[in-house]
Structure 1
């Protein structure tokens, strides 16, 4: 009796079941690799801490606190050294010369005695335009440069006199202001015009 012929293995059901399982496994593997490839191609995301940026912006917005000097303090504005030694108020400058009239005002004069030092490398002339009085209403007052007053002050007048490097001069300059001013400061500029790159404040009253 002839034995039964065996079916070829590729015609058996279990062969195709194995092939199907392997095929499904390969498809799943390819899909996973594809997803990995897509993720690797994405650019790295940079996390920005907005709180840190805000802190940096806040630091930039904060202005340095202005220093206010007092009478007797020694300080500099650029290459100009200053010490305000004395401040007084008066309404009249009397003259000892019969040919020079007394100088009076409807308001009051603020008379400042100060020591100025030239810290530059060249001789310089101190100018009245380097000084202003500022009151509590933010009004600005220029130095009083009346010709009669300059003659009455004589050598005490500190302006328009040349001062060599490293040398100092002590003298007087005057401001005419309204009578009702009670609180005011002196603003000192390092120079005149475009040369006035810095300024300092001295509280006078």
Structure 2
């Protein structure tokens, strides 16, 4: 009986119940802290959501710089090369050139280019058929000096502007014919180009399409 009374008396003590409440509260708060830690760890462990292409800021593609296309010259155009000015008037083909009494025959077929040249420099320039070259299919063709001289010879035998070491003073212009001896296939090509230059050394050049 004494033991039962002792046990009952303990449960009836107010301070006993205070200790019990404090212990329960401590256990509960400890569990709450553990839950918070677990929640924080889960939040940090979750991978970040990747932004969809629609939400990402679109970067403007770099604008391509427009390249200035070089103007192509043709028959009838005035072409300035340094201090020299060239104009191709026309082109023809022939098997021979020169006066009928003493013509010059082509090995293949002649391409005859009628043109004019003006000297805009402040000194005399020696104009020669070597100023002119023909371009086709990656190949370079030289002018025929004898054919060019003959093509500029009249029926009376006089030669005007032969394009053979002709002296051209400042502000003067001369016209005549330049001749190329070519194969029949080349002379009829549609992509022939005449190269003209500043002088004997050709420090500057331009191309004229002979279409």
Is this a same-fold pair by TM over 0.5? yes
Compute the displacement of 1:158 (Å).
3.0
Match of 2:170 in 1: 165
Residue 131 (structure 1) aligns with: 132
Q: Residue deviations 1:155-201, cap 9 Å, x none?
A: 152332111101101111111111101120101111222xx221111
Structure 2 unaligned residues grouped into runs of 5+? 1-59, 153-158
Separation (CA, whole Å) in 2 of partners of 1:109 and 1:63: 38
Q: Could you tell me how far apart the structure 2 residues matched to 1:71 and 1:165 are?
A: 24
Equivalent in the alignment of 1:71: 75
> 2:193 aligns to what?
185
Tell me, in whole angstroms, the C-alpha distance in 2 between the residues paired with 1:139 and 1:87.
19
Question: 2:84 matched to which residue of 1?
Answer: 80
Q: What's the RMSD between the two structures over aligned residues?
A: 2.5
Shift of 1:64: 5.6
TM-score of the pair, normalised by structure 1: 0.61
2:203 counterpart of 1:197: yes
Does residue 141 of structure 2 align to residue 141 of structure 1? yes
1:57-97 deviations in whole A, cap 9, x for unaligned?
A: x87xx976333211011121111111111111111125344
Other-structure match for 1:115? 116
2:185 is paired with a residue whose SS is coil
Structure 1, unmatched stretches of 5+, are 1-50
How many residue pairs align between the two structures? 143
- Residue in structure 2 matched with residue 93 of structure 1 by the alignment: 97
1:34 counterpart residue number: none
Decide whether the 8 Å contact of 1:68 with 1:200 is kept in 2.
no
* Contact 1:88-1:110 at 8 Å conserved across structures: yes
2: CA distance, partners of 1:134 / 1:163: 26
CA spacing shift, 1:91–1:156, aligned 2, 3 Å: farther
What secondary structure sits across from 1:115 in the alignment? strand
Structure 1 residue 110: deviation in Å?
A: 0.9
